[in-house]
Every structure is written in structure tokens, then in C-alpha cells.
């Protein structure tokens, strides 16, 4: 939800959130163009966005 920094959460919560971050990153990568991807990233709460962006790049590099 982006109300608490990920780094401040319990490791179990971080682990559970990682699935949702991965799924969100996959959805963003499936979008048709750069503008749509940017718009989707901008809708993500600021405290979560860096984690999703990092996952997007991780998946992108892996699939290159």
C-alpha cells in the first residue's frame, strides 16, 4: 500500500510483498509502449515504486 518503507517491514512481510512487486513489474513490462509503462509506474505509491522499478529492470535484463 506504500504507507511504510519496505526496509522497515519485518522480513516475512518483505518476502510476502515480493510476489506482488514481481507481478506488478511483469504487468508493466507487458504494456505496449514506454508512455503507458511510465504512467503505470507513476501511479504506484512513492515508497513502493523504487522496488517495482528495480524488479522491472531485473526482469528486463534477464529476458534480453
Give pTM, 2 decimals: 0.85
% of residues, the chain, pLDDT over 90: 77
1 or 37, higher pLDDT:
37
Residue 2 has pLDDT above 80, yes or no: no
Q: Please state, in angstroms and rounded to a whole number, the distance separating the CA atoms of residues 3 and 60.
A: 27
pLDDT in tens, 3-26: 778 888 889 988 999 999 999 999
pLDDT band of residue 1 (cuts 50, 70, 90) is low
Helix (H) or strand (E) holding 49: helix 49-63
Give me the residue spans of the domains in the chain.
9-63
Amino acid at each position: 500500500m506504500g504507507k511504510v518503507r519496505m526496509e522497515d517491514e519485518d522480513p516475512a512481510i518483505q518476502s510476502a510483498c515480493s510476489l506482488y512487486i514481481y507481478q506488478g513489474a511483469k504487468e508493466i513490462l507487458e504494456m505496449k509502449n514506454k508512455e503507458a509503462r511510465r504512467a503505470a509506474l507513476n501511479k504506484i505509491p512513492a515508497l513502493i515504486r523504487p522496488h517495482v522499478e528495480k524488479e522491472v529492470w531485473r526482469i528486463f535484463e534477464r529476458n534480453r
